[in-house]
Chains A and B, each alone.
Chain A
Amino acid sequence: MQTGTLQRNTPGAPHTTTRSFWRSEALQRILAFAALVVLLIFFSLASPNFLQARNIEGIFLSTAVNGILAVGVTFVIITGGIDLSIGTVMTFSAVITAKLVTEAGMPIPIGIIGGVLTGGLAGLINGTVISRMRVPPFVATLGMLYIAKGLSLILSELAPIYFERGSGFTDLATGVIISIPGVIDIPNAVLIMFGMALIGSFVLFRTVLGRYTFALGSNEEAARISGVNTARWKIIVYTLTGLFSGMAGVMIAARLNSAQPSLGQGYELDAIAAVVIGGTSLSGGEGSIVGTVIGAFVISVLTNGLRILSVPQEWQMVLTGAIIIVAVFLDMIRRR
Chain B
Amino acid sequence: MELLVEMQGINKAFAGVPACEGCQFQLRPGEVHALVGENGAGKSTLMKVLAGVYRMDAGQILLRGREVEINSPHAAQMLGITMIHQELNLMPHLTVAQNIFIGREPRRSVPFLLDEPTINQQAEEILAQLHLNLSPKQRVGGLTVARQQMVEIAKALSYNSQVMIMDEPTAALTEAEIEELFNMIHRLREKGIGIVYISHRMEEIKRISDRVTVMRDGHYIETLITPETTIDRVISLMVGRTIYESAPELPETPSTEVVLDVKNLNRGRELRDVNFQLKRGEILGFAGLMGAGRTEVARAIVGADRCDSIELTIKGKPVTIRHPRDAVRHGIGYLSEDRKRYGLVVGMDVANNISMAALHRFVSPIGVVDDGKIRQTAKQQVDALSVKTPSVRQRVRNLSGGNQQKVVIAKWLTADTDILIFDEPTRGIDVGAKSEIYKLLNELARRGKSIIMISSELPEILRMSHRIIVMCEGRITGELTSEEATQEKIMQFATQRSELIGIDSEVQPA
Binding site for B on A (CB under 8 A): 1-4, 6-8, 10-15, 20, 206-211, 214-215, 217-219, 221-223, 225-228, 285-286
Contact = CB atoms under 8 A, between A and B. Distances in A.
Contacts of A12: 92, 140-145, 147-148
B291 interface: yes
B112 A208 contact: yes
A222 B104 contact: no
B431 interface: no
Interface string B114-128: 101000000000000
B119 to A, nearest CB: 9
B221 interface: no
B174 to A, nearest CB: 11
A225 B73 contact: yes
B218 interface: no
Contacts of A227: 74, 77-78, 103-104
Given A211-B105, A214-B94, 5 more contacts: A7-B291, A12-B141, A12-B147, A223-B91, A228-B102
B386 interface: no
Contacts of B92: 11-12, 218-219, 285
Contacts of B142: 11-12, 15, 20
Contacts of B98: 211
B393 interface: no
Nearest to A220: B91
B402 interface: no
A1 B93 contact: no
Contact of A219 (B89, B112, B171): B89
B86 A3 contact: yes
Nearest to B456: A1
B55 to A, nearest CB: 15
5 contacts: A207-B113, A211-B102, A219-B89, A221-B89, A226-B89
A3 B74 contact: no
Interface string B146-166: 011000000000000000000
B114 A211 contact: yes
Interface stretch (B239-247, B272-280, B292-300, B317-325): B292-300
B3 interface: no
A197 B38 CA distance: 56
Nearest to B90: A222
User: For B116, B168, B270, B291, which residue has the most chain A Cβ atoms within 10 angstroms?
Assistant: B291
Nearest to A7: B172
Contacts of A15: 142
B147 A10 contact: no
Nearest to B87: A6
A25 B114 CA distance: 22
Given A12-B143, A222-B89, A227-B77, A4 B112 contact: no
A10 B105 contact: no
B141 A11 contact: yes
A241 to B, nearest CB: 17
B58 interface: no
B93 A218 contact: yes
Contacts of A226: 74, 77, 89, 102-104
B102 A215 contact: yes
Contacts of A209: 112
A229 to B, nearest CB: 9
Nearest to A222: B89
A6 B91 contact: no
B114 A206 contact: yes
A219 B295 contact: no
Contacts of B423: 1
A232 to B, nearest CB: 12
B210 interface: no
A56 B290 CA distance: 63
A15 B144 CA distance: 9
Nearest to A2: B290
B369 interface: no
A4 B77 CA distance: 26
A6 B112 contact: no
A219 B99 CA distance: 11
A215 B86 contact: no
A217 B142 CA distance: 17
Nearest to A216: B91
User: For A20, A210, A211, A286, which residue has the most chain B Cβ atoms within 10 angstroms?
Assistant: A211
Contacts of B88: 10
B337 interface: yes
Given A7-B86, A10-B88, A217 B93 contact: yes
B360 interface: no
B361 interface: no
Nearest to A229: B103
A225 B89 contact: yes
Given A215-B91, A218-B92, A223-B91, A1 B295 contact: yes
B137 interface: no
B103 A4 contact: no
Nearest to B77: A227
A10 B291 CA distance: 15
A7 B112 contact: no
A12 B144 CA distance: 4
B107 interface: yes
Contacts of B112: 207-209
